[in-house]
Amino acid sequence: MMLQPATTDFRERAVIVPVAVGLALNLVMLTELLATHARLNSDFMAFWSFPRFIAAESRPTLIYNAATLTAFQRQLYPGFHSFYPFIYPPPALIAFSWLRLLPFGEAEIIWSLLGITALALGTKVMFPRSCRNTLAALLGSPAALLCLATGQTALFATALLLAGFACLPRRPVLAGFWFGLLTLKPQLGLMAAVFLLTSGAWVSIFAASLTALALASLADLIFPLQMWPLWVNAMLTCQHAYFQAKTLNLNTLITPSANAITLGLSETFAWRLQAVCGIAMIALTAWAARRAPYRLAVGITLIATLLAQPHAYAYDSLAAVAALALALEARPGRLTLALGIATYLAPWLLLSPMHRLFFYAPMLAACLPALLALALRVQKSAVLGHEPVSVLPPAAT
């Protein structure tokens, strides 16, 4: 959620409190993490290990062998006991390669600062009239804390989504470039692809395809072609392993199938549920791209992105916070506002004794009818007036 200049007093008061509290809590908890150096089993540790594995191993294809990679990580970090397989596409190894040049602590700090900077730039172009307030809401969210504490990629992915959709109306080539970079974490770009196809954004589709092809070609020059089928197999194997290991922090996953498994339902039912949700999200995104006011259509697409895939974590819900910010521009009623605030705050449950009560997919699903109602209520011309006219940072307001 965010504070918009156009909102009424009750909306301002309702949004300021959770954002301010969230910023304060995030600052305190991140300071404590830095003071205690509690980093050994963070996700960033895995990112830092991937280029080192490639440098140490004569067969780069073995990075998709979870047992071999885990054995290397345990040699690299005495006391390491987590499970961080490499399930990214081969070009991601190029994006991670610079981490090998720095010690762990310095690399983690630079990674976090780069992520915050990327998010700030993405917020600037998507929310030119309320950049500071929206960025404060994003960074004050529990999703941002989880991302910064673990060293995950959600800051970068959300920045790319925001930049892509901000540029799409008037800078389609640049939008395609940002969407093309999302192929480094392709599941977060699936609904963006549906949005582009349905809206007939052929220039952006061409630019995104060219960007993705360039990344893949560069990876093919460096790594064996066998990396691609190994990547696909690693994704499927890892997803199955997660669903089988029902005690493996599944409640931090925010997808319908993961929530179903956490509730004790069968894996077969979970996959069927995920398939139905995926089809529904594709249809909803397609409708929004053609019929809804642009910025509300983007909000619908961001939430649909999280519900359409089987593997998304609580830190990935940073994209949902951006969707809530877009919804707030349409001046929602009290009930919708309360739902948005609850959705914004819900990931805090993961950091509390009630962490097993965290089920996020139903909350995300509940936000969609609210967004649809706003889309049907708001006149398209009024919302389109909020579109950024340039991808260059406008003057601060």
Residue type, 217: S
State the burial class of residue 175 (Cβ atoms within 10 Å of its Cβ: 0-12, 13-18, 19+): buried
Q: What is the pLDDT of residues 212-254, one digit of tens each?
A: 999 999 999 999 999 999 999 988 888 777 777 655 567 788 9
pLDDT score for 379? 52
Q: What is the pLDDT of residue 37?
A: 60
How far apart are the C-alpha atoms of 106 and 111, rounded to whole Å? 8
Query: What are the structural domain ranges in the chain?
Result: 9-384
Using alpha carbons only, how large is the chain's radius of gyration in Å? 20
> What is the phi/psi pair of residue 253, to 5°?
-80, 145
Highest mean pLDDT among 120-129, 182-191, 348-357: 120-129
Retrieve residue 135's tokens.
């960025």
Which of 3-12, 25-34, 309-318 holds the top average pLDDT? 309-318
Total residue length of the chain: 397
Q: What is the pTM of this model?
A: 0.89
Across the chain, mean pLDDT equals 86
Residues 43-64 pLDDT 10s: 888 899 999 999 998 899 999 9
In tens, the pLDDT along 91-107 reads 999 999 999 999 988 89
| Per-residue pLDDT at 295 exceeds 90 | yes
Which residues, at least 6 apart from 225, have a Cβ–Cβ distance to it below 8 Å? none
Nearest CA among 217, 152, 221, 143 for reference residue 180 = 217
Could you please report the per-residue DSSP string of 249-303?
A: SGGGB-SHHHHHHHTT--HHHHHHHHHHHHHHHHHHHHHHHHHS-HHHHHHHHHH
